[in-house]
């Protein structure tokens, strides 16, 4: 979850591609139980990285989340967070990303990020895109690429 410049993917160099990007509201964990929503620009990469910026034009990375095979993304049904629902679908436009970072053989650190999209359709697009990237991570771990070593 670090923000080292050496790990920032550069879409222009061909090493990774942007899967989805756009503005979402993130729930601030520093605002107490009522929560505070802050607008942030998110960029999802096919290599399993979700970057957060304060605005689209910003070059300063606010947060980087490296996906693991233990991560999950779902609709949020927590009544403390989902006080509003979409008029047409009666569902909240809010979802969460559970990010599990392995610290050692016995320790993990879990980060739950609650995000709000403008609509349920945009929420579903983000969830589907994140789940596809997570699925690719699982497949890559089960079937690592075969490298050939010439003798």
pLDDT, block means (10 residues), the chain with 151 residues: 48 76 86 71 94 92 91 80 60 86 88 90 95 90 67 50
Query: What letter does residue 145 receive in the DSSP assignment?
Result: P
Please give the angle made by the CA atoms of 50, 62 and 45, to the nearest 5 degrees: 20
Question: What local confidence, expressed as pLDDT, does residue 39 receive?
Answer: 93
> How many Cβ atoms are within 10 Å of 128's Cβ, its own excluded?
12
Give the helix ranges, DSSP H, for 39-119.
none
Question: What local confidence, expressed as pLDDT, does residue 129 receive?
Answer: 97
Question: What local confidence, expressed as pLDDT, does residue 1 receive?
Answer: 45
Question: What local confidence, expressed as pLDDT, does residue 3 receive?
Answer: 46
Q: How many helices (H) and strands (E) does the chain have?
A: 1, 7
Q: How many residues does the chain have?
A: 151
Distance CA 116, CA 25 (A): 5
Question: What local confidence, expressed as pLDDT, does residue 138 receive?
Answer: 85
Question: What local confidence, expressed as pLDDT, does residue 82 receive?
Answer: 56
Question: What local confidence, expressed as pLDDT, does residue 147 receive?
Answer: 63
Closest CA to 110 of 49, 68, 53: 68
Contact 131, 151 (CB under 8 A): no
């Amino acid at each position: 979850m670090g923000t080292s410049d050496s790990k920032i993917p550069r879409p222009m160099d061909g090493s990774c591609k942007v899967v989805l990007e756009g503005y979402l509201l993130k729930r601030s964990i520093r605002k107490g139980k009522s929560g505070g929503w802050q607008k942030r620009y998110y960029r999802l990469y096919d290599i399993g990285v979700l970057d957060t910026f304060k605005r689209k034009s910003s070059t300063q990375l606010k947060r980087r989340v490296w996906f693991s095979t233990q991560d999950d993304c779902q609709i949020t049904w927590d009544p403390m967070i989902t006080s509003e629902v979409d008029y047409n679908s009666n569902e909240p436009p809010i979802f969460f990303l559970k990010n599990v970072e392995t610290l050692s053989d016995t320790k993990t650190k879990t980060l739950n990020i609650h995000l709000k999209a403008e609509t349920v359709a945009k929420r579903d697009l983000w969830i589907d895109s994140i789940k596809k990237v997570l699925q690719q991570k699982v497949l890559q771990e089960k079937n690592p690429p075969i490298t050939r070593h010439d003798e």
